Structure 1
Amino acid sequence: MLSPVSSLPREQRQLLRLYSRLDASRRATLHSFAEFLCQQQDDEKQQDAAVAEQQAPVDIPRPEEESVVAAMRRLTKTFPMIDRDALLDKATSLMTSHMLQGQPAAQVIDELEALFEEHYHIYLKKQ
């Protein structure tokens, strides 16, 4: 009958042999270091998940009736990863065309959505 240790992978058996040769103080140090490495690995996984989550737009459906200002709020929440400064000039120009020149809200919102999509694709290329 095989011992439980002999069924372990080679690296784990080697680690157990090394561990058994250490005194109590060094075993505690090794244990602390192993806990540190596990915590570091868990933190990296959480960061990777957060980055992946940031890359995906938030699915906020467009309401049938929506003002241009409400659309800007929705799109800002939909694409939180986009640098707002990068699209501020164009977005302001579109909003102004609606407010001062009477361009229909639906048309301006379509253009705003296209603008945010464009900047989202730029964001993805930089990642």
Structure 2
Amino acid sequence: MLPPVVSLPREQRLLLRMFSRLDAPRRASLQAFAEFLCQQQEQEEQRSAPSGAVEIQAPGDIPRPEEESVVAAMRRLTRTFPMIDRDALLDRATSLMTAHMLQGQPAAQVIDELEALFNEQYQIYLNQSHHP
């Protein structure tokens, strides 16, 4: 028996067609970027929800593996720093991933820059938390 046919909206069908044309590394990058955007949206929704006192979050303790892809580093860093404003990271993180994927910048160098970016944004988070 065949599974039921699901009618997807046009934009979803277009995205699936583009995804299917990508090679495996670019698919992984697209998935990582989509995860990043989803986390960004969740963070915005949490910020807009009424809450009590602001609790300062410490970064997670997820060590950097000896061998790591840029996509895996983005996942690790977003899990390590869930409190960081994703809007502040979006442009720079995207350009770093693009430099690696399309311009051949070495993964270790891009990951170093991503870590510096996340740490910089964490310091901004701390400053804003102490001085709202």
- Counterpart position of 1:20: none
CA drift of 1:121 comes to: 0.3
Q: Which has the higher helix share?
A: 1
User: Does 1:76 pair with 2:84?
Assistant: no
Structure 1 portions without partners, runs of 5+: 1-46
State the AA in 1 paired with 2:98.
T
The code of the aligned residue for 1:126 comes to Q
Runs of 4+ in 1 over 3 A off after TM superposition: none
Partner of 2:101: 99
Using structure 1 for the length normalisation, give the TM-score.
0.59
Name the residue aligned to 2:25: none
1:115 aligns with 2:117: yes
Q: CA deviation at 1:51?
A: 1.5
Question: Which protein is bigger by CA-based radius of gyration?
Answer: 1
Name the aligned partner's letter for residue 62 of structure 1: R
Tell me the TM-score normalized by structure 2: 0.56
Unaligned runs of at least 5 residues, structure 2 = 1-51
The alpha carbon displacement at 1:85 in A equals 1.3
Structure with larger RCO (C-alpha < 8 A, sep 6+) = 2
Could you tell me which amino acid in structure 2 is paired with residue 117 of structure 1? N
Post-superposition offset of 1:123: 0.5
